[in-house]
Amino acid sequence: MPSMKHFLNTQDWSRADLDALLAQAAVFKRDKLGDALKGRSIALVFFNPSMRTRTSFELGAFQLGGHAVVLQPGKDAWPVEFDLGTVMDGDTEEHIAEVARVLGRYVDLIGVRAFPKFVDWTRDREDLVLKSFAKYSPVPVINMETITHPCQELAHALALQEHFGTSDLRGKKYVLTWTYHPRPLNTAVANSALTIATRLGMDVTLLCPTPEYVLDERYMGWAAQNVAESGGSLAVSHDIDSAYTGADVVYAKSWGALPYFGNWAPEKPIRDQYRHFIVDEAKMALTDNGVFSHCLPLRRNVKATDAVMDSPNCIAIDEAENRLHVQKSVMAALVGRRD
């Protein structure tokens, strides 16, 4: 396992360690109940809502003999301050320096879900909430989605390995396609999909409407590094037909254009021009009998059509199920490192 004790990004973990997590997840999928977390507990700290993440982490801890406590700062827990040197005479009641340390005295693991504020990308890309928990916590911290979503990465990877019947996905043509959404969304899942697809050595195309929708340079850099280390390739395309043609995997996600981050009004008319990026039967017909997936939730007939979602080539439900199993693997691995 890696020298650091947290699960913040897959890029922090070696390929061998990721393979071990995926292999153990497959074991947990076959044998759902165990005692790897017997007598252990995890605090699940949600600054943003969730259905799959909360359910899968709570059940995962339970199925391995552990216990999960859900906290929602600002709702059933005090609002938290993250900046150092702040005079706390506003809405926040306690500082992360105390929150993380105290929780670490109670539990064995801490999971954190905190989306960007969508005001200042320069600040949001620092991932302050997650990094602050990791800084102050005496126990391992798990990223439950901030500006990346590493648990989703593993669930996606496992679903692809299951579909293709092999852990070796090198040579597969992988398309990460932008899709329309009425609102500008977080780039977290797109960042993560790009990261794991290149890490697995696939030939990856990032399909987006214009250069403004290319992902942050950090994650493009990670992808380029992964290509150099794992093989495969990386390309950016704005041509729907050429990107889809011959694809083995199509992964869809919506996100806002980063140049307009915090000033979304001018971005909306640009985004509205590209509703035709919806994943439909005609586009999937260009693939090499390719599979389609999405992290969910998905707006049907906005991001993808009913026919695509209900197709036997859609593995989104398999991917969603795999969240349970890969997160059990992550929790068990992190607890095991502390023993």
Whole-number Å distance between alpha carbons of 62 and 28 = 13
List, as residue ranges, the binding site for N(2)-acetyl-L-ornithine.
Answer: 145, 253, 296
Query: Which residues neighbour 152 within 8 Å (Cβ) at sequence distance 6 or greater?
Result: 145, 189, 192, 193, 295, 319, 323
Show the DSSP H helices in the chain as ranges.
15-30, 52-63, 96-106, 121-124, 128-136, 150-164, 188-199, 217-230, 240-244, 267-272, 281-284, 306-309, 316-338
Total Cβ atoms within 10 A of residue 297: 10
Closest CA to 143 of 38, 10, 31: 10
Q: Which two tokens stand for residue 70?
A: 């859900």
Residue 215 is classified by DSSP as P
List, as residue ranges, the binding site.
Answer: 50-53, 78, 113, 145, 149-152, 253, 295-296, 323
Main-chain phi, psi angles of 140, to 5 degrees: -60, 140
Whole-number Å distance between alpha carbons of 301 and 297 = 13
List, as residue ranges, the binding site for carbamoyl phosphate.
Answer: 50-53, 78, 113, 149-152, 295-296, 323
CA angle 302, 308, 313 (to 5 degrees): 145
